[in-house]
Chains A and B, each alone.
Chain A
Amino acid sequence: MSTLVEVRELRKVYRTGEVTCEALRGVSLEIAAGDFVAIMGPSGSGKSTLLHLIGGLDRPTNGSVRVGEHLLSALDETKLARFRRAHIGFVFQFFNLVDNLTVQANVELPALLAHVDRRTARRRAEELLSRLGIADQARKHPWELSGGQQQRVAIARALINRPLLLLADEPTGNLDRAAGQEVMRILSECHRDGQTILVVTHDPLVAAYAGYVLFLQDGQIVGRMPGGDPSGIAGRLAELG
């Protein structure tokens, strides 16, 4: 498989007044197209920061991120926005849907921003909603749905532009166990269809869905193990404290 994501010596330092915090300390990794990767680590280990830098939501202090042919540090704000809308799909812990738009409109939003014609956007949205089992909710508003349904809408929104990479930050963190499993089942199906996925999670049950798991501690990758075994993953996580 070809390399889709190439991260080299990534450093990120946050400054708040005179206080500095080094969230990432020279992280390097590669993700192949079609991989399902989970990133785990204790709070403050830099997991979300790594996800944000790979998704082009933030800029590194040092190092580089390449996604496909795109070297993110070479892109200005506008090109970065276009890159995100075309190649990255985001799923957040708190769903982050636009409350005053319908489910259908929320899903269509990135496609319309990318100037996909309205009919195509609608067709794609309907297909995705149908595939995720919420076609009957299309005309409702996010606040009329359950948490699991809202997260499925978020996944549909993330997939509408057929992204190279789907990034999920604690996608089940705000859901009950059943809803969480349903969301992970959907992500697994997407992976089976060829979607490259990077998930940040605290939950070994979630990480177990991934092909392999990367462990982060104090801003550095400190280990790697295959997915599939929740108890093994939990044990390794416990070792990291």
Chain B
Amino acid sequence: MFAVFQKIKADILGRPVLSVLITIALATSATLLTLALATLLNAGAPYDRAFAELNAAHVWLYFDRELVRTRDIARIESLPGVVDTTGLRHSMPNRVELGGERVWVSIQAIPAQPPRVNRLMIQRGHYPRRDELLASRDLAYLYPLSVGDVITVERAGGRKVALPVVGLAYDPMWDIYRGNQPPYVYLTEETFRKLFPDRQAWGWSLGLRLADPQAVDEVVAQVERMLRKDALKSYTDWRDVKQSAMFEVQLNFVFLGAFGGFALLAAALVIATSVSSTVLSQFRQIGILKAIGFTRGQVLGLYLGQYLVLGLVGGLVGILVGILLSPLPLQSAAVSLSTTLRPRIAPSLIAPVLLCVSGVVVWATWRSARKGANTNTIQAITTGAEPPRHRLPPLTRFAYWLGLPIPVLLGINDLFVRPMRSLLTGVNLTLGVMGIVFGLTLNDTLKAYVRDPSLVGIVYDAVVTREQTSHGKTRSLLNRAPGVIAFYSEHIVEVKTGDGRSFQVRAVQGALDAFPFRVEEGRFLSTAGGPMNEAIAGKGLLDWLGLRVGDLITVTLEDKEHRPLTWRIVGQYAERSNAGQMLIAPLASLERHLGHVEPKVYYLKLAPHADPEQVRRYLKRGSNDDLSFSLVGKNVPESILYLQLAILALASILIAVALINVFNTSLLAVREKTRVIGVLKAVGMTPWQVIGMVNTTAGFLGLVATLVGSPLGVAFTHMLLGMLSRMYGFGRVHTAFNPFHMLFLVPAIVTISMIGSIIPGWWAGRLPIVEVIRGE
């Protein structure tokens, strides 16, 4: 056994460059896997930490003011399982003016001192005092807003009060995923009461902390049983809010996991290439070892041992680096929640990564090591391992026929001397290309979505909302507004299915034909006097309710439970809000139940060269100041830009691992064919021609890898985005890839591959002919 250890040590130290490179490749994949696992295991940690620091409520109940009394609130607060409460909170949906825009917000009354339960995280400024206003972080995100700005609150009767923004806050129970939830602004209870004295107009809500945070459903069921029917309008579950907060981190996990898997596969390819070449180069030596008494098991152990040692070293180094870098993927979430995070690293994180790396090492080593162990001793000693003899492959014959220079011809021919080795290296390069194409495709897809927002369900150019101006007048204005080609109006209605699941319906009316709704399956609503009972649904809604295009859906409206409403779902469209859990139906189909409805939101299609400012001025002139006009934003979110950079960095890592393999393969190939190189030099091949020959092999592999890897990369991106899209209920993804990328990708990858073979090529070019020939 000691002899085996001695030989393992000698072999590792005897090939220091290769050993180091393989260790780096393994360490890289271990780092990415550690990062992916740390991200997955700690995805909720920033939220959990913020949640704990703020003593946030586990469930927030929203009541129908007319059906609830204060004694009901007291009964809820004393329910078993409720350990603490926020006390009854008042709110008021209202319009405010900020930066020239009139914005719909929910004004929340908060205690004069920071409360015990569900404190707000003040990210800038300070907690509000009398006649001061605290804005939610999300309001500041939607509208450029900073501490010191002024927000004008409209009081009942139209009187306006300007309040200074003294801080920006994060509310741990404000769910960004609830598309219908307006941003919050906070006033002290005293200021709130002063501005909105009409108590009947207040909304009531209550936050509860539970002994068992998972018992939200049970507590809500108890509350519903306790109160009058429909007294509980809705509630926010802390788990849903956490899920929303984790979205970006989960994306990081998906990408890190995918790239970690790629990197591990790439490292396996490096090892498989290396071990097969090592066994071949040591064929004679293996024969000698067996002749002096090594058993087959010992020879097998010799090679498995060598690479397992490298795997363990690389794995541990990679895990360590991964642990050090693990805060990075979680940083954006932690920063956005104003918390710091040192991810929890448990043995459950280290063990799988180490097992994974070791398993891959054994898998990649096994075949060649077994081949070495089963070597016929006499044959190994006498003949060694000459490269296999075969006829010129068709590609070389074709290159010969083309009259390519002889070094190029011989370089192409070398691809086929050890086809498996070339294949493994090619696959390795292909993985790198796929990584780069993944980043490029993601970028192109985002650009395509920015250019054509209809792909993400934004079929309009601008949105207008009204307050006092009548529906009729607004329509009339929009009909005459310069640059407005068409518009439709929308009224959102909350509906409930027979089994109690509620969702929102976009009830629409107007020139729908002019808008490029993306119907992914089925068809759009019949617009010209067609049946009223048609609807189209988001993918998320169909999946959630288990429905398909063509099915009927029956729902009830609030207060109208005795009159169910049925639509036939004729299509599935791209819905970006509420995880795709929405439906579009003609307004007329709802008016039969609701009576006449006057929508307050209008979606506009503008002429290609329309001046938005002119449209805004036209709409807001005179007494129509309450009309708000906003253009659809066309900026790529910062978090996505950050993600793209991260993906390109990960792709570069894959390329670096591929470079290691190219170097490895070229070096081993040069070592194996030193005799041929010596002969070629003897008959007149110059050092530069030798370098050219070695580079051609690598460059050709790069060319093939780019041609194969590019479509595979696009397909992989399409698959991954499709998977994410399905997860979040969006529906089909329209992946874009600009073919002009190939103009730089092909030369870039070919050059990179050739760079990987420059040192082996240079070494080959300087091979001393006499020593090589004497060596025979």
Contact = CB atoms under 8 A, between A and B. Distances in A.
Interface of A: 48, 52, 55, 57-58, 77-78, 81-82, 84-86, 90, 92, 94, 96-102, 105, 109-110, 112-114, 118, 141, 143, 157, 161
Contacts of A58: 768-770
A90 B772 CA distance: 15
Q: What 9 pairs between A and B have smallest CB-CB spacing? A: A85-B684, A81-B686, A96-B679, A112-B406, A58-B770, A110-B683, A78-B686, A57-B769, A143-B389
B773 A141 contact: no
A113 B687 contact: no
A99 B686 contact: no
A118 B403 CA distance: 7
A90 B392 CA distance: 24
Contact of A98 (B386, B416, B676, B770): B676
Interface in B385-411: 386-387, 389-392, 400, 403, 405-406, 410
A94 B776 contact: yes
Contacts of A84: 682-684
| Range, interface on chain B | 20 to 34
B684 A98 contact: no
A94 B773 CA distance: 9
Interface centre among A52, A55, A81, A97 (most CB of B within 10 A): A81
A85 B400 CA distance: 20
A1 to B, nearest CB: 26
30 contacts: A52-B769, A57-B770, A57-B773, A77-B687, A78-B688, A81-B681, A81-B689, A82-B686, A84-B683, A85-B683, A85-B684, A96-B679, A97-B679, A98-B679, A99-B386, A99-B389, A100-B389, A100-B416, A100-B417, A101-B392, A101-B413, A102-B391, A105-B392, A105-B400, A109-B680, A110-B683, A113-B406, A114-B684, A143-B389, A157-B683
A108 B219 CA distance: 89
A48 B770 CA distance: 9
A57 B686 contact: no
Contacts of B405: 112
Given A58-B769, A141-B391, A143-B389, A77 B684 contact: no
A100 B395 CA distance: 13
B115 to A, nearest CB: 82
Given A52-B770, A58-B770, 19 more contacts: A55-B682, A77-B686, A78-B687, A81-B681, A81-B684, A81-B689, A84-B683, A85-B683, A92-B773, A96-B773, A99-B386, A102-B392, A105-B400, A109-B683, A110-B684, A112-B406, A114-B684, A141-B389, A141-B391
B65 interface: no
A109 B417 contact: no
Contacts of A94: 776
A90 B682 contact: yes
B674 to A, nearest CB: 12
B684 A82 contact: yes
Contacts of A85: 683-685
A49 to B, nearest CB: 8
A55 B405 CA distance: 25
A100 B418 CA distance: 12
A35 B675 CA distance: 30
Nearest to A86: B684
Contacts of B390: 100
Interface centre among B413, B678, B685, B769 (most CB of A within 10 A): B769
Contacts of A112: 405-406
A81 B687 contact: yes
Interface centre among B392, B410, B682 (most CB of A within 10 A): B682
B387 A99 contact: yes
Contacts of B387: 99-100
Nearest to A51: B770
Given A78-B688, A98-B676, A141-B389, A57 B682 contact: yes
Nearest to B403: A118
Nearest to A97: B679
B686 A98 contact: no
Interface centre among A98, A118, A141, A157 (most CB of B within 10 A): A98
B392 A100 contact: yes
Contacts of A118: 403
A157 B770 CA distance: 19
A92 B775 CA distance: 13
Contacts of A114: 684
Contacts of B688: 78
A112 B685 CA distance: 10
Nearest to A90: B682
Interface in B94-143: none
Contacts of B675: 96
A28 B679 CA distance: 27
Nearest to A87: B684
B482 to A, nearest CB: 73
A225 B683 CA distance: 31
B508 to A, nearest CB: 71
A101 to B, nearest CB: 7
A152 B681 CA distance: 20
Contacts of B403: 118
A96 B676 CA distance: 7
Contacts of B684: 81-82, 84-86, 110, 113-114, 161
Contacts of A100: 387, 389-392, 413, 416-417
Interface string B744-776: 000000000000000000000000111001101
B498 to A, nearest CB: 75
Nearest to B687: A77
Interface in B683-727: 683-689
Nearest to B393: A100
A90 B389 contact: no
Contacts of A161: 684
Given A77-B687, A78-B687, A113-B689, A98 B680 contact: yes
B163 to A, nearest CB: 82
Contacts of B386: 99
Contacts of A82: 684, 686
Nearest to B391: A141
Nearest to B675: A96
A228 B403 CA distance: 46
Nearest to B679: A96
Nearest to A98: B676
A121 B678 CA distance: 22
A58 B678 CA distance: 12
B739 to A, nearest CB: 36
B495 to A, nearest CB: 74
Nearest to A101: B392
Interface string B330-354: 0000000000000000000000000
A100 B393 CA distance: 9
A113 B685 contact: yes
A117 to B, nearest CB: 9
A16 to B, nearest CB: 11
Nearest to A52: B770
B697 to A, nearest CB: 13
B229 to A, nearest CB: 86
B374 to A, nearest CB: 25
Given A94-B776, A98-B680, A100-B417, A81 B389 contact: no
A141 B417 CA distance: 14
A72 to B, nearest CB: 14
Contacts of A157: 683
Interface string B654-684: 0000000000000000000001101111111
Interface centre among B678, B684, B768, B774 (most CB of A within 10 A): B684
B417 A81 contact: no
A23 to B, nearest CB: 11
